[in-house]
Amino acid sequence: MRIDAVSIFPEFFDALDLSLIGKAQREGLLDLRRHQLRDFTVDRHRTVDDTPTGGGAGMVMTPEPWALALEHVLADAGRNPSPREDEPGQRHPAGEPPVLIVPTPAGELFTQRTAEELSEREHLVFAAGRYEGIDQRVTAWAGHHFEVRPMSIGDYVLNGGEVAIIVMVEAITRLLPGVLGNPESLEEESHADGLLEYPVYTKPAVWRGLEVPEILLSGNHARIEEHRREEQLLRTRRIRPDLYAKHIVAQEQAARREAEGD
Ligand SMILES: C[S@@+](CC[C@H](N)C(=O)[O-])C[C@H]1O[C@@H](n2cnc3c(N)ncnc32)[C@H](O)[C@@H]1O
């Protein structure tokens, strides 16, 4: 998979050189390229922001450096960065377009399903906003070259898109074949089947007076599985009633379909 990340603070992405994602890069499973947005400015001060049109607080990222940076990424990936935008046939030339992910608290919520879906794509491009965000016309323009996905990592506001990008890149790339030592661990994790994971324990069996549930020491795998499923359901109902309700609805639908002989 190829990932390009554009930012005025590309140093943030150095965190992705550590641990399993760093190893994935060194092993060639992931080609992560970082770009300094200011390299695509044309003025002496390398300006990337201006006052909001219509007034208001803060600054807004100007569109032209973004277009130049994204055109550079397209050209570098071997795509024609400037097809005639009025020609419908030129929209998304040759093959699957790269996905442009624009982090924003005003975007679609990024979930494990989104991570799974994006892990199947060949080329992802991330655009880190700062200040009050990027001039809205950038996403309209980018739609001629990319599949554009404004994405939020949660209902809170960060200072910039870099940390959100690190979150998304890690969630997506750990799903790539070969990145995790034991891919089976993906199947049992929280959110894999819409529920939270059961509580986990390791040795010693008694630690500071606290015991692990006896059943986990029984060696009876069927009973252990049953116990873990119960714990999963209890924990999800207590901590995430929204997920639990969805799970119950999905189960009822599956039971109805089965009864109808689907
Ligand atoms: C201060 S925020 C801008 C907030 C924007 N004015 C608004 O109210 O929607 C600056 C940048 O941080 C990033 N950001 C902030 N919160 C985010 C979130 N929950 N998810 C993804 N990106 C976020 C985006 O890149 C955004 O452009």
DSSP per position, 193-251: SSSPPPP---S-SEETTEEPPGGGGS--HHHHHHHHHHHHHHHHHHH-HHHHHHHHHHH
Which residue ranges does the chain devote to CATH 3.40.1280.10?
A: 2-173
Q: Which of 104, 151, 167 to mutate to test the pocket of ligand 1 (most atoms within 8 A of CB)?
A: 104
Say which residue the tokens 């992910």 belong to: 101
Does ligand 1 lie within 6 Å of residue 164's CB atom? Answer: yes
Distance (Å) from CA 108 to ligand 1 centroid = 12
Say which residue the tokens 């040795």 belong to: 203
Which residue ranges does the chain devote to CATH 1.10.1270.20?
A: 191-259
Mapping DSSP onto H, E and C, the string for 241-257 reads: HHHHHHHHHHHHHHHHH
- Fold of the domain built from segment(s) 2-173: Alpha/beta knot (3.40.1280)
Ligand 1 atom 23: residue of nearest CA: 104
One digit per residue, pLDDT tens: the chain, 262 residues? 999 999 999 999 999 999 999 999 999 999 999 999 999 999 999 999 999 999 999 999 999 999 999 999 999 999 987 755 554 444 445 689 999 999 999 999 999 999 999 999 999 999 999 999 999 999 999 999 999 999 999 999 999 999 999 999 999 999 999 999 888 888 888 898 899 999 999 999 999 999 999 999 999 999 999 999 999 999 999 999 999 999 999 999 999 999 998 6
Element spanning 105, H or E: strand 99-109
Distance (Å) from CA 85 to ligand 1 centroid = 29
CATH number of 191-259: 1.10.1270.20
State the CB neighbour count (10 A cutoff) for residue 210.
Answer: 8
